[in-house]
Amino acid sequence: MIENFPLYKDAHDEDDYRNLLGEAHFIRAYFYFALAKRYGGVPIVDHVQDPTADAEELQLARSTESEIYRFIHSDLKFAMDNMYARTERGRANKFAAAALLSRAMLYAGTIAKYGGYTTASPDPAAKAGHVGIPASEATWFFTEAYNAALFFETEQGGYSLYQKQADKEQNFVDLFLDPDSPEDIFIKEYTITSPHNNRLKHNYDALMSPQGDFVSDVGSGSYPSLETIEKFHDLGIVNADGTPRRFNTREELWQDYEPRLRASVYFSGMELRGKNFDIRRGFYKTFTGQADDAQLGSTEAPVNNGDNRIIAAGRYDVYNDMTIAGSHGAWNRDIENNTITGFFVRKYVNYEMAVEDARLYNSEQPWKVIRYAEVLLNRAEAAYELSLDPTAGNSATYLSDAQTQISRIRDRAGATPYTLTAGAAVVQTINGQNIDENLQFIRDERYRELVFENHYWWDIRRWRIADKVLNQYRPLGLFPYLVLDENKYIFIKEYNIENKTFNFEVRSFYESIPAGELNRNPKLIQNPIY
């Protein structure tokens, strides 16, 4: 398209021609960014290859990781300069290009600053620059990320945070379901009325809530961890003396939690499709000690002995005419379709869909590939990184702008205000680079806003912390128990019921170049540690 479309320029309106050529560059950049995230530097194919040419001509060497990101930068700048400001839903425009540029350049900036791989490494791929970006380039990439996000303001893109509902919880729920959202920059559409009767639908609703009460097919298989909830809030489940706080109902736990959290996660007692989530782990006949006495659910803990703690082996186990685990709670056997952490996902769930319609291949809410809130978060992170860089200048201006963007996000979320301060304390060091309290908060804010939207996996990779976050990581849950001799609820931290553990190897910051590609092209160099 890019190579041959100019031959047909005279057959098109000038603006249409420029827009279509810009869209082709956007698509190429989108594809190369997907490769760069996984492999680092890959061969740049910027012309149409002749399949009958000699092998030597077809076998291209990998470019450096920096060259790939600069290639992406060039394509997206071309797209920004040539595309329309608005196009039909589901297709890119110049602002989608700017948003993708802000994302890609932020990735490159953090890889340069925190990556650790350098050409001084003995590994061949690192020595050649195929993985890792020189730290000296971080400032340029952060500046380009910042300027791309700023493009929305300077060019008056017309995008804004979704704020149609006065109730901030309901507003954040509807953000992901409203087909006419001013926050949507680039979306993947699904609809039963697609061309050629392709039935472009998905299964999200069928796979997020328990079958029977909320969906008519399959049932839930994804559960937020307790660590997710703790990113938003102090839980308020333990008294100052270390004893579990008592609750009259399970609903009391989350009543004062941030609206954005309540809009993202289903807690026990919340309503969906005319029924309420009934989540419980079991009963304690009595609980007189400290919360820590439960030892994260260990069967060895004296308070959890079989006579005092009553938990279910199966879904329908009953004690004193009460379902032990609650209809949607946790038990120890055949646990598919019920929570293993004490929570369910709410974000993106179509609450207006009838139970009988919540089945496989019947959901059509669009996937928000890029939304305006991410652009503001990209801007805040890039601005704060630049505020720390003495070579970038304008430190106070960058710090102020980072504060402004975080405040915009938190105000829409219904969260308490947070103030970034100069000279914040260091909380961790990655590859010789300090992460201070402000930067950590900006990263956590990104997690909170974009949770369940396919960002965090890539974020912890580009920040080079995945090997620490997922170091024999065993997700926790938070489970309600009814204390029978008090008729009060307590909430106990325990490991997830399936005892799943996750680990991230250092080599996985880059994926392995497939063996078939290496065999076909001797110019390719394998990524480190494979």
Q: What is the pLDDT of residue 196?
A: 64
CA torsion through residues 83, 86, 91, 94, sign: positive
Let me know: does 345 contact 222? Beta carbons within 8 Å.
yes
Contact (CB, 8 A) for 115 and 515: no
Dist CA 105 CA 449 (whole Å): 20
Q: Which residues pair with 410 in a beta bridge?
A: none
- The CA distance from 122 to 463, in Å, is 22
The answer to whether the beta carbons of residues 518 and 524 sit under 8 Å apart is: yes
Query: What does the pLDDT read at residue 363?
Result: 94
Residue 207 and residue 220 in contact, taking contact as beta carbons nearer than 8 Å: yes
Tokens 């110019």, located at residue: 523
Per run of 10 residues, the mean pLDDT along the chain (length 530 residues) is 97 97 98 98 96 94 98 98 94 97 98 89 94 97 98 93 98 96 94 70 95 93 96 96 98 97 98 97 97 96 95 91 93 84 98 96 94 98 97 95 98 97 93 96 98 98 97 97 98 94 96 95 96
β-sheet bridge partners, residue 478: 493
Q: What is residue 120's predicted lDDT score, i.e. its pLDDT?
A: 81
Supply the pLDDT for residue 89: 87
pLDDT at 314: 87
Q: What is the pLDDT of residue 195?
A: 66
Let me know how many helices (H) and strands (E) the chain has, helices first. 15, 14
The pLDDT value given to residue 198: 62
**Closest Cα partner for 217 from 209, 206, 208, 203?**
206
- Per-residue pLDDT reduced to its tens digit, 342-384: 999 999 999 999 999 999 999 999 999 999 999 999 999 999 9
- Residue closest to 478 by CA, chosen among 352, 386, 344: 344
Q: Supply the pLDDT for residue 306.
A: 83
Q: What is the DSSP letter of 530?
A: -
Give SS3 for 148. helix
With beta carbons less than 8 A apart as the criterion, state whether 170 and 263 touch.
Answer: yes
Tell me which residue has tokens 């298989």: 221
